[in-house]
Structure 1
Amino acid sequence: MTSATSLFSTVETDLRVLTDNLKNLVGAHHPILYAAAEHLFGAGGKRLRPAIVFLISRATMPGQDITARHRRLAEITEMIHTASLVHDDVVDESEVRRGVPTVHSSFGNRIAVLAGDFLFAQSSWHLANLDNLEVVKLLSKVIMDMAEGEIQQGLNRFDTSLSIEAYLDKSYYKTASLIANSAKAAGVLSDVPSSMAENLYNYGRHIGLAFQIVDDIFDFTGSLEALGKPAGSDLKSGNLTAPVLFALKENPILEGLIEREFAHEGDLDHAIALILESNGMERSRELAAHHAQSAIACLSDLPPSESHQALTEMADYVLSRLH
């Protein structure tokens, strides 16, 4: 089974420098924001998104070092991701993330909203200073997509008629858009041909969707310690994910429990049991595996390198989180 440590070994130094730079970029003149930044960037996240940017940057610059613009792109990517998490936690009223208190539970909603806004603003400023219009367009679209995904999720709460296609669209907006567009942007900064840039975009899209589907499976199978939040949290809040949508096709009782929003005692536990007993988990695993394999196919025109190999193994890593 591939681990994050071994997978990212070729960009380990890049990621260490990134963490130090992020703390300095965010909090240099704002003590409370610096405290929030330390809290966020020291929370032990996997740094999956900037790692993919670094790996693609190195894979598309064989025999050369990556540029300062590649490094800044990785920082911008992690800033956008972190800003979205801060705001999501406020909206979802989440008390913990990755097993540590969220920004709003530590500093209050006002600081959390401002910290998220500040991160988005900082990322936009640094993005503009890359002086590459195509990259600006790609990453600006991500911020729009994230808002669209959050709106869709809010509008579709407890909607048992939601289709798998609509779920995947929402998952793209909320998760895969950032990975896809930052992957393509790394290629653009390396001046790769447009066909390769498009393949890098599709690699990120498929990896992002696989990652989200696995996360949604993990919401039912993971421990409190591993999840950093109670199992079934998404379902309780009305966010219907792949395992739920597949299970709904098998069991009409589940539909009734969801539509009454788990109003009766024991409803949520009953719903979780029905989902775990259904084929929804297996069908979700198959869907995640499909996207992981599709991602690998998008790397065929990259030259052989350690970074290329790590990008290929990323698919195995994403799926291995299920075991």
Structure 2
Amino acid sequence: MTTSYIFSEIEKDLENLNSNLKSMVGARHPILNAASEHLFSAGGKRLRPAIVILVAQTTLNNNLIQSSHKRLAEITEIIHTASLVHDDVIDECITRRGVSTVHNIFSTKIAILAGDFLFAQSSWYLANLNNLDVVKTISKVITDFAEGEVRQGMIRFNFSISMDEYIEKSFYKTASLIAASCKGSAMLSAVIEEKQNQCYLYGKHLGLAFQIIDDILDITSSSQSLGKPIGSDLKSGNLTAPILFALTQSDELKYLVGQEFEDKNDLIKATSIVKLSYGVKKAKDLAEEHVQAAISSINCFKNLNQDKYHNLVLIGQYILRRIY
């Protein structure tokens, strides 16, 4: 069974999600509406809503997933997209998923307003789930996003940061949403609290693995396949797992980072050093550890709903295979 099977199994749900997203975020103002249309037309794998749906299937033990699960999947994607709009402004990205970013097409002001609008829309739909526990769990994520951005901004070009600090920042920026949405999906299934928390841990470790692989791709991939310029993290001083591992091996890399790549060829040199070091392999090993931790977290569902449990295992494999 290939990892593509998981997405084909829930293809209809994801198709409905794509059409619903555009109608859910329709804005009265034509500029905001155009910005929203542009964002959701860019596509993407819709990994986060896919995980919400798969957790719902697993925790419901073969019962049909509810409309509230589908709505939570949509809310999760809106929150994620809103965070990307703001991230792109902060990081001064020109492209995302191979298309121009909102602030590059319109303006920085419109991009910030579009991100705020999407966060507001997600909050409205979240409140209408009429489940206070889910609202509390998901709304905390927006605070975590801000925390992650502040932390990242404060440690730019600081090669003395620890791997624990990197993981903590990655949790706030990426894993928090996946963890919370997994728990929220389990809450809507009305499983016991222990199983809700196990779904949270599954999402947390899956999210960390996803971020680590993303950080590897920023070094090893091509601009065309990545949908944005390679080395973007390194250029902005965001020191990720492969870079941090490589720094322990190379004084030259420390020098280049310390000089903030002041010469035009410094970034190319630094990227080459990271590729030739053991940084990429060690980062991949770290991602694999988190995928294994994610799978271990949901062992309680293995005998309860084996087929759907296996889909959650395959998601972890899919995340790791992104680097091939």
Instruction: Give the equivalent residue in structure 2 for 1:288.
Output: 287
1:55-94 residue CA offsets vs partner (Å, 9 max, x unmatched): 1111111232211211111111011000000011111111
Check conservation: 2:202, 2:295, Cα contact below 8 A.
yes
Which deviates more from structure 2 when the two are superposed, residues 181-190 or residues 260-269? 260-269
The code of the aligned residue for 1:184 comes to K
* 1: CA distance, partners of 2:306 / 2:35: 37
221-230 or 172-181, which deviates more: 221-230
User: Residue in 2 aligned with 1:277?
Assistant: 276
Counterpart CA distance in 2 for 1:87 and 1:276 is: 29
What secondary structure is seen at the aligned counterpart in 2 of 1:27? coil
Q: Which residue of 1 aligns with 2:128?
A: 129
TM-fit CA distance, 1:270: 1.5
Indicate whether 1:185 and 2:173 are aligned: no
- Once the two structures are superposed, the pairs formed by residues 62-77 of structure 1 within 5 Å of their partners are 62-77=61-76
The Cα shift of 1:2 comes to 4.0
Q: TM-score, normalised by structure 1?
A: 0.97
Q: Report whether the alignment pairs 1:321 with 2:295.
A: no
Partner of 1:160: 159
Deviations along 1:200-220, one digit per CA (max 9) or x if unpaired, are 000000110000000000111
Instruction: Indicate the residue corresponding to 1:233 in structure 2.
Output: 232
Please give the root-mean-square deviation of Cα atoms over the aligned residues, in Å.
1.3
The answer to whether 1:171 aligns with 2:170 is yes
Confirm or deny: 8 A CA contact 1:206 1:294 kept in the other structure.
Answer: yes
Q: CA deviation at 1:28?
A: 5.0
**Segment of structure 1 superposing worse, 101-110 or 60-69:** 60-69
Structure 1 pair 61–296 and aligned structure 2 pair: CA distance change class (3 A): same
Give the aligned residue type for 2:269.
H
Percent pairwise identity: 55
Per the TM alignment, residue 9 of structure 1 is displaced from its structure 2 partner at its CA by 1.9
Q: Deviation per CA, 1:182-236: give whole Å up to 9, x if none.
A: 0000000100111111110000001100000000001111011111122111101
Misfit runs of 4+, over 4 Å? none
Rounded Cα–Cα distance in structure 2 between residues aligned with 1:15 and 1:111: 28
Matched residues in 2 for 1:58 and 1:312: separation?
A: 13
Equivalent residue for 2:308?
307
Q: Distance in 2 between matches of 1:229 and 1:20?
A: 25
Q: Distance in 2 between matches of 1:183 and 1:50?
A: 10
Tell me the distance in 2 between the aligned counterparts of 1:180 and 1:63: 22
Name the SS for the 2:10 alignment partner.
helix
Q: Partner residue of 2:193?
A: 194
The answer to whether the 8 Å contact 2:62/2:305 transfers is: no
How many angstroms apart in 2 are the aligned matches of 1:248 and 1:97?
Answer: 28
- Specify the alignment match of 2:112 in structure 1: 113
Counterpart-to-counterpart distance in 2, 1:23 and 1:166: 37
Report if aligned partners of 2:213, 2:322 keep a CA contact under 8 Å in 1: yes
For residues 29 and 190 of structure 2, the distance between their equivalents in structure 1, rounded to whole angstroms, comes to: 37
SS in 1 for 2:157: coil
- Check the 8 A contact 1:23/1:34 in 2, yes or no: no
Aligned equivalents of 1:272 and 1:26: distance in 2? 39
Q: Secondary structure at the match of 2:264?
A: coil
Alignment match, 2:49: 50
Query: Residues 299 and 312 of structure 1 are in contact (CA less than 8 Å); yes or no, is this contact kept in structure 2?
Result: no
AA of the residue aligned to 2:192: P
Distance 1:28 1:266 in 2: 44
CA contact (8 A) 1:247 1:279 kept: yes
* Alpha-carbon offset, residue 305 of structure 1: 4.5
Within 1, Cα distance between the matches of 2:164 and 2:230? 24
- Structure 2, unmatched stretches of 5+, are none
Question: Which stretch of structure 1 is more off in the superposition, 126-135 or 280-289?
Answer: 126-135
Q: Distance in 1 between matches of 2:222 and 2:312?
A: 28
Q: Secondary structure at the match of 1:301?
A: helix
Q: 5+ residue gaps in structure 1? A: none
**Residue 6 of structure 1, CA deviation:** 2.3
Separation (CA, whole Å) in 1 of partners of 2:209 and 2:2: 16
Deviation at 1:142, TM superposition (A): 0.5
